[in-house]
Chain A
């Protein structure tokens, strides 16, 4: 019996989610009275997970795993789980983790709870609280299979540093090719993505046209944030589809979501509701978004946002 966490890295660096799932896995292992290991692929400084309570890291050092393909990764993680006698496997909620999770579940004949936001109260019935109804409610899901698969929601459990160290062991899973091959990728380099961002700055129709987006990008820059947009804005081609957040767009689970000129249609709210703090800037005091917001400014974005940018620059400069 043990806990295994799949810790993601990109270009050799652990992603923030790696530390969050390690923290979750470590706390869970403590509750279960057992140990926690991690499986990592081509991570530099693999042992860094020790700081989050992980005892051992199974490190796959294999160039053929540089490019992510779900079935191949699922098989490798399943092999690690079997080797470690893992009874719980913990994943993040990244797109890649969600892609491989169902394949991994079937490999391990495991029940899978996704979008989990807390530890089980009782490890014997393994009932976990998760987001459901597109962030409008919570479900408590009990997993009854011998091996259980948990997908932890971003920014839900938090990161707990324990100051330990982890041993790193080489792990060489089957590297035979996936049935799906990747032919090419088209990715904006360097920009923080909506999935990874702590802060997301989003613009809607209230900005009147694509020519007015400079201030959205500048505000995002100052905050180190990702840029996003509402559905009408991407439908009209003002911004790329990849920025559309909402029910049929990307989900947002960042710490801060700043909505500029977005009225707050239900489908939009559904997609961004997992964000912790919502700030709404809109000229219309009746905009539905204000009911869902934590902080709001009723005002003209074209005066408010530039001022906010200047004040934030000063705030950041003051340290």
Chain B
């Protein structure tokens, strides 16, 4: 089985979010970048298929050279090869187009992406890749089993979960649950050393269609101070929630 794992290069969760150039771009100064958390879960599952079923696992990112350290982290976790499509990520549609082209040309059976990235929260790339490839799409994936080219999976649904089945080619939108948090692979020294020898191919973009642009950003207004209510006076809390906040 040939697996392609899509890796987003995102600011670490604890980063301060600021914008530059007249609030038109995210200010990356001093920001630590990491593999998107949802993608990490999918990558670990891919490693399981590599170890137990002999699958090959490549990782891919659409972005400039600044994303290469994040691709190297994925190689250090155990992927065989990294591919960077050399273009700025402009919107979800364009990124999906570039990924779909590589996925199709490369004959991948299973493409694993994260359900949503923590920076732009588009939540669209894996599904768009599937539609562009004519592949099946399983979103909110919290369990994935492969037997030959038959796939059974578990999805998180509102109020519970559902089991689904399909076949290759398949794109999966993964999240926590596709592996347990305690099973997440982290790069060890050996992995980091080996990552340096693994191929990181830079390919030119196909120049796929861009349908939108984030032209401006805004930080929310600073939050007012919390209104503390005396634990001896909970009637006041109820009154505030009813009369002021109007939520009960």
Contacts and interface: CB of A to CB of B under 8 A. Distances in A.
A191 B159 contact: yes
Interface string A81-108: 0000000000000111011111101110
B67 to A, nearest CB: 18
Interface in B122-136: 122-128, 130-132, 136
A214 interface: no
Interface stretch (A26-34, A41-49, A110-118, A203-211): A110-118
Given A106-B132, A112-B92, A292-B223, A311 B238 contact: yes
B161 interface: yes
A308 B237 contact: yes
B158 interface: yes
B138 A180 contact: yes
Interface residues of B, number: 78
A95 B156 contact: yes
Interface stretch (A55-63, A126-134, A159-167, A168-176): A126-134
B104 to A, nearest CB: 14
A312 interface: yes
B160 to A, nearest CB: 4
Interface stretch (B49-57, B73-81, B162-170, B188-196): B162-170
Given A110-B211, A295-B226, A296-B226, A140 B216 contact: yes
B159 A193 contact: yes
Given A112-B93, A296-B226, A137 B219 contact: yes
B109 interface: no
Contacts of A102: 92, 96, 123-128, 130-131, 137
Contacts of A312: 238, 248
Interface in B192-233: 209-220, 223, 226-231
Nearest to A248: B176
Contacts of A134: 13, 118-119, 121
B14 interface: yes
Contact of A279 (B119, B158, B237): B237
Contacts of A129: 218
Interface in B146-175: 152, 156-167, 175
Contact of B124 (A74, A114, A304): A114
Given A95-B156, A249-B176, A291-B226, A132 B211 contact: no
A105 B214 CA distance: 17
Interface string B237-248: 110111001011
Contact of B161 (A71, A185, A267): A185
Given A103-B130, A185-B161, A248-B38, A308 B234 contact: yes
Contact of A255 (B93, B235, B247): B247
Contacts of A185: 157, 160-163
Contacts, number: 257
A95 B159 CA distance: 11
A297 B247 contact: no
Contact of B137 (A103, A132, A294): A103
A259 B89 CA distance: 37
Contacts of A195: 158
B224 to A, nearest CB: 8
Contacts of A267: 13
B68 interface: no
A130 B122 CA distance: 10
A315 B119 contact: no
A95 B118 contact: no
Given A180-B165, A276-B245, A312-B238, 19 more contacts: A99-B139, A101-B127, A109-B211, A112-B211, A112-B212, A127-B215, A129-B218, A131-B121, A143-B212, A185-B161, A185-B162, A186-B160, A247-B13, A279-B241, A291-B223, A294-B226, A295-B237, A297-B234, A311-B238
16 contacts: A103-B127, A103-B130, A105-B124, A136-B220, A138-B219, A142-B213, A179-B136, A185-B160, A199-B247, A255-B247, A294-B227, A295-B226, A299-B231, A303-B231, A307-B234, A311-B235
